[in-house]
Structure 1
Amino acid sequence: MVRKTQTAKQHPTQTDHDMVPPQPPEAEDLRTRINILEEEIEQLRFDKFYKQAREEPHDPAALTLAVDKYVRDTGDGWLTVLTSGTRTSLPSGLKVAVTSTANGRDYGTITEGVLDGTRFDVTAGNLDNSYRRVSDLRIKVKHRAGSPVVIDGVSYDLDLTISYKESGTTKNAGPFPAKTAKDPLPYGTHDLEIADYPHPAGSGYGAFGTVWFRIGHNGDRYLHPGRVSLGCMTCAPPNWPDVYRIVNASRMDSRSVGTLEFVAPAVANRVSKSTSAARKPAARKGKA
């Protein structure tokens, strides 16, 4: 369970928790506490930036002449733009409204996601006229019927399947190995948000490893790749590109991509029946 990172696109050199050689319990506990404090500081920085961005005056009239564009695909799933002069990362596929182009830069307003309504500018040529879209995204996660799947020495005891519609056709993908531990994700159906900002903890998991999707509209649980789970829904890294390409292309509304349902294990109601036949009471003879 990792909290939001700074808005600026970063590639820190920190080593992920599960890549560190085994250490004494005291050292592990101290490391965890330090990571939590660092994440809380980043959360405060993000909250300050987000509040300032939302409070900036906007010109609704400018959007009437705007042209819808989409953040282009990139190697890691992020494009760096400027919002009020601050370097900010936007996820590939995010919809924006371009209001003008001048001096080799596009100017406009973000129209979906966590920064919906925020003005930005970016070097011209980084926005596309269209982007792949799928709908009716439903992710279902169930406990595996058999033994956990072991990948690179890590056990995954859940199966994650995806259903969605593309061009009117229902499609399915998976199951993909997944896990949730420590403070596990509550059972039930949760909204899944559009990707917010790069998460450095995923930088060691290959392409799109830093693109995470928040589960619900508050808190710090995410759908993401990884080998360690602290309460998020964690997918095996080798399968993450396949999961990412579907989830990132989906939209349920301007804030969410779809839903994620974590299914509670079925409890068999076993009713034990007596093997001995029930005896009927002998009928009493009445007087004639």
Structure 2
Amino acid sequence: MTDAVLRLTERHIDDEGTAKYLWTLHDGRRVETVFFSHHAGPGQCLSTQTGCAIGCTFCATALQRPARNLSADEIYAQAVRVDEDCRERGLTVPWRFVTLSGMGEPLLNYDNMVEAARRLYEWTDIEVVSLTTSGVVPRIYQLADEPTYLQLHVSLHATSDEVRRQLIPTTRKWGIEEILTAARHFARTRDRRVIVNYLMFESVNDRIEDARRLVDMLEPELFEVHLLLWNEIPGFPFRRIDDHRVDEFRRLLSDAGLMAKPMPSKGRDIQAGCGQLLAERTA
């Protein structure tokens, strides 16, 4: 079944074993999937749409306008095909994590995304299926009541609506406080912290004032913060921040009681890092 749903077009593997897969779908559209491994175990990053309409100014996927949502079969098949490829390469992988954080905004493909997550939990002994959203507020409330549990990551990236609109122009409908209010509801309903992704940019959102505002916004019992470094994309007007600056920012958060940790970048050399996925340039 999965061979008919996805055709492997390209595969790239870096020196650390991170692999990026380019799939061609039945209608000729293309998406990408990433296999990665870190200290907590192996995982996969799956796509939920062919492109993305959110329009983040730092993300290559924004250059691929979405033609459609992926079906539940197409989302689920990515995981199965990556598993098959790993086994063919002699990698016996007890899957720990699957994240719906590749191409697309998963909460704009809600029903297919949730159905794929349900099937992933049934497929193997996955510890957790997670998703990353730019903040589709009504769907966050809906997700809190789903029988199938998904770990919620919210891409915040700013401590003011003004700066956030510069980074994520299409999120004008919901401000930071509305998004965080929905995230608080999710955390209390599921009794598990929401992860706030904070992608750091030099001279944009890396000031001491930003760290202090983040501390004021986030309750330690409801949130933890993942600090991300921007992965370079040719032609984009940002600079990758130094590791030591990220660690200084982390210490400011941690000293105030907020759980925070920098997240390693995987697959940068093969354009498989966060924000680098682009299966076809259509804009």
Return the TM-score normalized by structure 1.
0.24
Return the TM-score normalized by structure 2.
0.24
The structure that is strand-richer by fraction is: 1
The structure that is helix-richer by fraction is: 2
